[in-house]
Structure 1
């Protein structure tokens, strides 16, 4: 099993950062919540802070677990740990992605996400719709 962390990063107006996988990468052209592989003895929080610094040149502050999801890409089993985080600082520079967007939770359904991320997309859309009642 491959342990992977994803950051659901919010900005000051409630938008969430999503990124499109770079051509040539696995899941190329699909959107995801940025993150990466959890290294040995690394926490989910430390992983997403490191990955976002390395891959996007930004600082974030994780504050809450958003759950985990097991997904199989063929014979590859990944466990994706999602964590909510606040955007702290930095200007986004892309390394592993072709594009990024800040979107409101209600807009997430307009993007084609990597299969492992879809559970969290649905949770965010559902949460957003309930909070608007």
Structure 2
């Protein structure tokens, strides 16, 4: 049985970036809260909202750092990744469980993007091949 998940939803808040120690190394992780709606197509071509659910999402490494720079509350995104259950005890000793998605890919709905800043490429530029018809 696979634990792969793919869904489209909206960010409930801006991503939060943290640094954690993993095997003695500092790693970046961004925490997201995403609401995945469940719209069901109707016979007349419209869609009816049948509720949805909130899911906590973790994004690691360079993707985490980019997510914090680009994503804003309300952004419509597609998230692919693996589901896992986390459990912990709070300060009062009560046990908690949460389903969390570790994202392997995040796609942004272009309508939600206000601006994009491109970073310069590193390394030597590549030349475009010349057109054989120009000789």
Structure with the bigger percentage of helix = 1
Structure with the bigger percentage of strand = 2
Larger radius of gyration: 2
Q: Which structure is higher in RCO with an 8 Å CA cutoff and minimum separation 6?
A: 1
